[in-house]
Structure 1
Amino acid sequence: MPTAPAKPNRGDARVALVAAGRKLFAQQGYDATTTRQIAAEAAVSHALLRYHFSSKAGLRDAVDDDVLGSFTHAVASAREEGTDHGDLAEVGRATALLFGADQERRRYVRRVLVDGDDRAAALLARLVAGAERELERLLPQPSALPPEQRRWAAYQTLFLILGPLLLEPALHTVLGSDPFAPETLAERSHANQRLLQHGLFD
């Protein structure tokens, strides 16, 4: 007689709930997903969800932290494995490590941004803040940029990263291949770096 899959222990339950929330929020949207569905997907009791996160909103915040934390870890990994430090190649490698390997996180970010509610604005604001920190680190003299360029630099960098993520389903059809396949992602990353460093018409 087959045995039922083991349920996560209390220590693993939090991780399982974040993963289940990320998956279901991406598939169904935040409003359409219930905490009972998330607990069932994670194979834990509903009480454990309340214990760890208090509410669906608390779990949503934890999922956002998980997704943005993954980018921080990816940047750190890119620095460790890269031969060139302190340049745009690190961010390119980090983008490849995070979005290239993790379709579920791509779907989650796409769903949040497309839903366009207050959460979308909050997540985008955090992404912009992270991009601003990276640009401060990467640019030799950020203060040398004119104010209007400095204001938009983080957004322009994010547009290059988020554009393919938001357009992924249509882009797949137009290209005739996976736009996040490793070789395509590497080629696009190099093209983005050239664009950022030299400009399109300079």
Structure 2
Amino acid sequence: MPQRPSEPSSRPNRGEAREALIAAGRRLFAERGYKATTTREIATEAGVSHALLRYHFSSKEGLRDAVDENVLGGFERAFASARDEGLESGTLAEAGRAAALMFGADEERRRYIRRVLVDGDERAAALLGRLVEGARREVDRLLAGPGAPPAEDRRWAPYQVLFLILGPLLLEPALEAVMGGDPFAPETLAERSAANQRLLRRGLFGPR
């Protein structure tokens, strides 16, 4: 039976403690919510002393900020991975694959984002705002040049892209029951990502 992180033989050293605390915070915040989770519970889950948590993050809010940075930092890593796969930079295929990697490969990241957005506090608005800004940057990059849509469409474009991505994430438990399988299984995710790219390029009722 695997040992819990809090057992002595699996305690991280001081250099590893920060990452262990971020991972434990992300996991417990996703399971219980931010308000219901204490810093002592996070330290125990991470297998480190409570003093080390205070040393690295000062407070629970500081740890939450670090968790958010860790989760949202996945965007840059995802785009790097998409380019490593040979996808051309600045294309819709690259953006679609990066989104699939960002939200599809890590169940814990999906659970954390879902919990924050469903809790609906000021943190939800801040996190969603950052996601919108990230989507806006990518949309502006992809729509640069002649033939760009009018301003009223560009205003909504980042939200529409996020709706396509976050919809399955927020509905994941029910979607799994309706589909009869994991909606984030690699083959399902690839199929949905390709369909989303076609939808964004042509529109739902546009010419085929």
Per-residue deviation, residues 120-156 of structure 1 (Å, max 9, x unmatched): 0000000001001111211233883212111100000
Alignment of 1:16-165 (within 5 A): 16-141=20-145, 144-165=148-169
Task: Tell me how far 1:167 sits from its aligned partner.
Answer: 0.2
Task: Tell me how far 1:16 sits from its aligned partner.
Answer: 0.2
| 8 A contact 1:135–1:154 mirrored in 2 | yes
| 8 A contact 1:136–1:142 mirrored in 2 | no
How many residues end up aligned between the 2 structures? 201
Gaps of 5+ in 1: none
Query: CA–CA distance in 1 between the matches of 2:86 and 2:113?
Result: 26
| Correspondence for 1:187 among 174, 187, 191 | 191
> For residue 84 of structure 1, what is the amino acid of its counterpart?
E
The equivalent of 1:200 in structure 2 is 204
Secondary structure at the counterpart of residue 179 of structure 1:
coil
- If the length of structure 2 is used for normalisation, what is the TM-score? 0.92
| 8 A contact 2:8–2:47 mirrored in 1 | no
Query: CA–CA distance in 1 between the matches of 2:149 and 2:9?
Result: 57
Secondary structure at the counterpart of residue 22 of structure 1:
helix
Query: CA–CA distance in 2 between the matches of 1:144 and 1:176?
Result: 39
> For residue 161 of structure 1, what is the amino acid of its counterpart?
I
Query: CA–CA distance in 1 between the matches of 2:8 and 2:119?
Result: 36
Identity value in percent? 73
Query: CA–CA distance in 2 between the matches of 1:86 and 1:135?
Result: 10
| 8 A contact 1:71–1:94 mirrored in 2 | yes
CA shift in 2, pair 1:179/1:62, >3 Å: same
- If the length of structure 1 is used for normalisation, what is the TM-score? 0.95
Task: Tell me how far 1:109 sits from its aligned partner.
Answer: 0.2
Gaps of 5+ in 2: none
Structure 1 vs Structure 2 CA RMSD: 1.6
Q: Which moved more, 1:79-88 or 1:187-196?
A: 79-88
CA shift in 2, pair 1:143/1:52, >3 Å: farther
The equivalent of 1:172 in structure 2 is 176
Task: Tell me how far 1:71 sits from its aligned partner.
Answer: 1.8
